[in-house]
Amino acid sequence: IQGNDELGLREFCTALYPGVVAEILEDMEPEEAWKVLKHAPASTQGEIFPFFDISFQVKLVELVGDKPLSRIIEEMSGDDRVDLLERMDPDHVETVLRLVAQAERSDIRKLLSYPEYSAGSIMTTEYASLPADISVKEALERLRVQAPSRETIYYIYITDEGRHLLGFLSLRKLILAKPTTRLEEIMQRDVICVRVDDDQEHVANEIARYDFIAIPVVDNQNRLVGIVTHDDAADVMQEEATEDAHLLGAVQPLEDGYVATPFFELAWKRGVWLVILLFAASMTAKVLQYFDPGDGGTWMVLFLPMVLASGGNAGSQSATLVIRALALHETDGRVSWIAWREIRIGALLGAILALISFIVAYLMIGIQASMVVTLTVFLVVTVGTLSGAMLPLGLKRLGMDPAFMSNPLIAALSDMLGVVIYYSTASATVQLFTTA
């Protein structure tokens, strides 16, 4: 491939299924991928582009000149290009949009104006529609003209001159009907549709519930404004499942997935929750102090729940992220990469939590004791993070379900480890201070 054989590269891009080409190119550096892709016609580029991960698309557009990029955007389907444009640098979007054909441009601007996570933001305007009073024969002829530019022609929507949605017809029914029949005789009149401002989760649920290939989207005057197709609905369902999994594991939901999210963003989205949970756990210390106002000897008990919770929470986070990434096939065969990343994140988060616990503990139990708590929190969080990430990977290698080692079990193991670290640190510190 790297022989710069222009014709060969062009053929490589056009002969295979776009999703397969995208998969091969995504394993290369963006620069390399573009060197291959630039030889393909714009229409093929527009087909391949949406199959790239969104973060890979954003990297690629930086390399593509504005003129070829505007051509690619013209060729991409409505919902895919809006996904991309929403993630690009706004200045760059403006420059590129100026080069895009007028009709496409106003369509893009309209789709961009719908709120994120609404039906409008995931729909495409490239639906097939026909009037009600034509014959099946004429319908098939008109459909042939529309077909090349439509996302799907398998579902046909029947509208009046004002674009009001009157009925629905599947291509299957159209093909089975007599050529002279008029569409209004065979169309289904009660069309199940969604509103343009409906939540995307509702749209995905409706498509799943009725096993549709696509669902029509109407505005508040029942005018057809777009369709959402089954593949976009499936993406939404995956996104929502990932978001729920992340929230349950106490991670701010990641937009780009575990692998594509930059180090410090990942650390931030986990750290925020760990800090909140640390404060919640320090309240437990306060409650314990009320029941057991330690006089020198029992200060270790006060912080026992907090220390153990820190390790368990850190472990749950990394386990949740790795398990979800494995389910989405993001991380295939990158074990050492993950381990190294989690050690660094664990140490960073451990250091931050240790600092906060130092302050909390110092106010409650004085300097020497709080140093034990601080050191323990750092170690427990680092070890907890790493083992939470490694356990699912190990289970997968053993051929088991990575989710099997559930978060509570990770927390239980981390509890045991936490006790060992806590008491060992304490006795080491006591010895240190005694000898000093």
Please report, as residue ranges, which positions from 102 to 161 form the binding site for its own copies (by CB under 8 A). 140, 143-144, 147-148, 153-154
Question: Which of 37, 58, 187, 250 lies at the binding interface for its own copies (CB under 8 A)?
Answer: 250
Q: Rank residues 94 and 332 by Cβ distance to its own copies and give the closer one.
A: 332
User: Between residue 384 and residue 423, which ones bind its own copies under the rule CB under 8 A?
Assistant: 401, 403-404, 406-409, 411-413, 415-416, 419-420, 423
| Site residues (CB under 8 A) for its own copies, limited to 260-279 | 273, 276-277
Site for its own copies in 34-73 (CB under 8 A): 51
Among 101, 248, 272, 363, binds its own copies (CB under 8 A): 248
- What residues from 324 to 343 belong to the interface with its own copies (CB under 8 A)? 324, 327, 329
Kindly tell me which of 283 and 359 has the beta carbon lying closer to its own copies: 283
304 touching its own copies, by CB under 8 A: yes
- Number of shown-chain residues binding its own copies (CB under 8 A): 84
Q: Which is nearer to its own copies, 63 or 171 (CB)?
A: 171
Write out the binding residues for its own copies, residues 180-209 only, by CB under 8 A: 188, 190, 192, 205, 208-209
Q: Which is nearer to its own copies, 122 or 281 (CB)?
A: 281
Return the range that interacts with its own copies (CB under 8 A); candidates 284-292, 341-349, 355-363, 378-386: 284-292
Q: Which of 2, 29, 162, 210 binds its own copies (CB under 8 A)?
A: 210
Half-sphere exposure of 197 (CA within 13 A, CB side): 5
Of 159-167, 262-270, 312-320, 374-382, the segment contacting its own copies by CB under 8 A is 312-320
> Nearest-CA neighbor of 395 among 324, 323, 338, 344?
323
